[in-house]
A and B are shown apart, each in its own frame.
Chain A
Amino acid sequence: MSENPHPLAELVKARLREFLREPGYVFWVFGFPLLLAIGLGIAFRDKAPELPRVAVVAEADPTRTSALFSVPTRLRSERLPRLEAERALGRTKVDLVVDAREHDVLLRFDPAQERSRLAREVVADVLQRGAGRTDPLGVSEQHVSEVGSRYVDFLLPGLIGLNLMGSSMWGIGFNLVLARKRRLLRRYAVTPMQRAHFLLAYFFSRSIFLALELALLVGFGKLIFGTHIRGNPLDIVVLAVAGAASFAAISLVVGARLDNTEVANGWMNFVMLPMWILSGSFFSYERFPDWLRVPIRLLPLTAVNDALRAVYNDGASLAGVGTELAVLLGWGIVGFAVALKAFRWQ
């Protein structure tokens, strides 16, 4: 009598269309994390370490301090009149003042300042060598600044984790609340639509967006910052799916009953804000006190971030992130169980 579209395909298409036709959604899911990555990536881009700044008292004998001006890769030295040099030190414009006296060289600095202590070591070393010291042991240096240990390498997996959380929570939990508020859920409930199709449609549409989000962030990191996945890229996909499923379960709990979008908004923030702060997306949670670390590591976003970083930067295998996977699985199972019990179509 008429063509027979498949309900699951139609539901998935409806979800994709509703998403793509809402510019706000597209921006928050795809645009915002990229802007964050660009902004933070540039702000914390690794700069050449700043050299110790040294003021050499101009009134003193210049021959004994001339060595300080022959090592531009180790020191930034300038000659200043004594008074001016003292003032510069007081204002931490320089880290150390060198004053060649009759029998020795006086180094004036504040030992509480790390940079001043560093300057002292370098200056002493340069002066001694300049005066003819020879070292009994040869020392060679090799300088390392490797991909995988920069801030952006730390940041990118964190942004992927944040994105997984945000788009699952808003895309599923909030969307459900909205549909219930608009009485769309009960409209579906009086059709022969299979309940499983409805939930599967969320699963599939999330998976499609997940693939896009992942490709976008990983590709962006590689292109702009040269980040590189040390582990198996497929493991990243597995972790992303596990993370998304875990957040989906939590968002289903939030969206199981509420029919008020303002209240839902509050709950979403209540769930997500602590993880934004605690889960180490932007900086390491090692800075929090010891007693907080265990609860922090039990948060799903922490588990996602840690596991992604381990695979991304340390080349860990899935077995190596078993604890994190277990945490995600736990949240997923508990969340789905609670949501199934609590879910209301009305």
Chain B
Amino acid sequence: MPPAIRCRSLVKRYGDKVAVNGVDLEVEPGECFGLLGPNGAGKTTTVEMIEGLYQPNSGSIELFGLAWNQGKDREIRERFGVQLQETQLADKLTVAEVLRLFRSFYRRGRAVDELITLLALEEERNRYFSRLSGGQKQRVAVGCALVGDPELLFLDEPTTGLDPRARKSLWSIVEKYREQGRSVLLTTHYMEEAAALCDRIAVLDQGKIIALGTPRSLVDSLGMVQFVEFEVARPLDEGALSALPSVAVLTSRGQHYRLRVDRSLQALTSVLAELGRQGVQPIGLSTHQATLDDVFLHLTGRALERAAQEGA
């Protein structure tokens, strides 16, 4: 079975600006692949080239082993479903009508009723699209992507702007779809989302893939580390703290401190001992494992949330 997606050296330029700068991607059948990065990293451009909306300036794209513009475009489109960023589907059509309309475009697909149940939109079935909440609209958008019973699903920042509950409900729809062994290409700037859904992740920054692997391996690439966070009521001697052999990085924001330390008991004890020596009482002390956010910070020197805002 050919890979669901295979891209080689994709390049897309807009005037002088290089939006995508030599991206290689391979998504295996049944895999959920995440493109992670801040806004403006080139995620959407990459995905929209793969979907056939734009032509790359150079590089090759194959879906299911088929290339665009070889007379197979329609066949390719029959086999994938797309949720695009910021699409406003028809305001004055009901949920059922919108799904039925999209269903009609595909030769084979899922029954509208079955889909409405999957999306948990039974009560909204006859409500106008414009009267839905943000989360419900997004579920309809994903429903339109699923209506052709695709082998490959494109999700472009599906949960941006949604509250945590709506986000979880969308994730569960994606997980149900994945149970059938289908493939997903997901873009997101939420690390948590990538970690929850994806088998593999490519971290994209300024049009290039800067890291690729499973969420676990990316986190482990930081080494055997953990993070200690706490607040203090009065200033402390930062120099002495970061001089400890087990402390790799110290960052602070006001009275809030964050230390990257070895993943060992000794590391913790030495930090606590140093705080004790300085007579400082840590407030809300916590330790946690490294996350994908830490990976991004490590790779780019920028926090992802901040990078996302810069791009926006």
Partner-B contacts on A (CB < 8 A):
1-7, 9-11, 13-14, 17-18, 21-22, 182-184, 186-194, 345-346
Q: Which of chain B's residues has its CB closest to A345's CB?
A: B53
Closest to B114 in A: A2
Are the CB atoms of A183 and B88 closer together than 8 Å?
yes
User: Nearest Cβ distance between residue B161 and chain A, in whole angstroms?
Assistant: 15
Report the number of A-B residue pairs with Cβ-Cβ less than 8 Å.
87
Task: Find B92's partner among A11, A22, A188 (CB 8 Å cutoff).
Answer: A22
CB nearest neighbor in B for A194 = B74
CA distance A4 to B91 in the complex (A): 24
* B51 proximity list for chain A (CB < 8 A): 190
A182 and B91 alpha carbons, distance in the complex (Å): 10
Known: A186-B84, A189-B53, A190-B52. A5 touches B104 (CB 8 A): yes
Instruction: Tell me whether chain A's interface is mostly helix, strand or loop, or mixed.
Output: loop
Number of interface residues of B (CB under 8 A): 37
CB-nearest residue of chain B to A188: B105
Q: What are 6 sample pairs from A and B whose C-beta atoms fall under 8 A apart?
A: A5-B104, A18-B93, A182-B88, A183-B84, A187-B84, A191-B102
In the bound assembly, the distance between CA atoms of A219 and B92 in angstroms comes to: 30
Give A194 to B89 CA distance when docked, in angstroms: 18
Given contacts A187-B87, A190-B82, contact A2 B92 (CB under 8 A): no
Inter-chain CA distance A236–B101, complex, in Å, is 34
Q: Given the complex, which residues of A lie within 8 Å of B103, measured CB to CB? A: 2, 5
Residues of B within 8 A of A6 (CB): 104
Contact of B84 with A190 in the complex, beta carbons under 8 Å: yes
Check B104 against A9 for contact (C-beta < 8 Å): yes
State whether A2 touches B111 (Cβ < 8 A).
Answer: yes
Q: Once the chains bind, are B74 and A192 in contact (CB under 8 Å)? A: yes
Central interface residue in A2, A18, A194, by most chain B CB within 10 Å: A2
Q: Tell me if B77 and A191 are in contact (CB < 8 A).
A: yes
Residues of B within 8 A of A17 (CB): 92-93, 97
CB neighbours (8 Å) of B144 from chain A are 187
Q: How far is the CA of A192 from the CA of B86 in the complex (A)?
A: 20
B190 within 8 A of A: no
* Shortest Cβ distance from residue B48 to the other chain A in the assembled complex, whole angstroms: 8
Shortest CB–CB separation between residue B1 and chain A, in angstroms? 21
Given contact pairs A2-B109, A11-B101, a sample of 16 additional A-B residue pairs in the complex whose CB atoms are under 8 Å apart: A2-B103, A2-B110, A4-B104, A5-B103, A7-B105, A10-B101, A14-B101, A18-B93, A183-B86, A187-B84, A190-B51, A190-B53, A191-B106, A192-B106, A193-B105, A346-B53
Contact A192 B107 (CB under 8 A): yes
Please name all residues of chain B whose beta carbon is closer than 8 Å to the beta carbon of A10 when the two chains form the complex: 100-101, 104
B297 at the interface (CB under 8 A from A): no
B90 at the A interface (CB under 8 A): yes
Tell me which residues across on chain A come within 8 A of B84, comparing CB atoms: 183, 186-187, 190
Q: How far, in angstroms, from A184 to B86 measured CA to CA in the complex? A: 9
Across the interface, B90 reaches (CB within 8 A) one of A4, A183, A184, A189, namely: A184
In B62-119, the 8 Å CB interface with A consists of: 74-75, 77-78, 80, 82, 84, 86-93, 97, 100-112, 114
Alpha-carbon separation in the docked complex, A346 to B88 (Å): 14
Provided the pairs A1-B111, A182-B88, A184-B88 are in contact, do residues A191 and B93 lie with their beta carbons within 8 angstroms?
Answer: no
Could you say which residues of chain B place their CB within 8 Å of the CB of A1? 108-111, 149
Give the distance to chain B from A178, nearest Cβ to Cβ, in Å.
10
Q: Which residues of B lie under 8 Å from residue A183 when comparing CB positions?
A: 84, 86-88
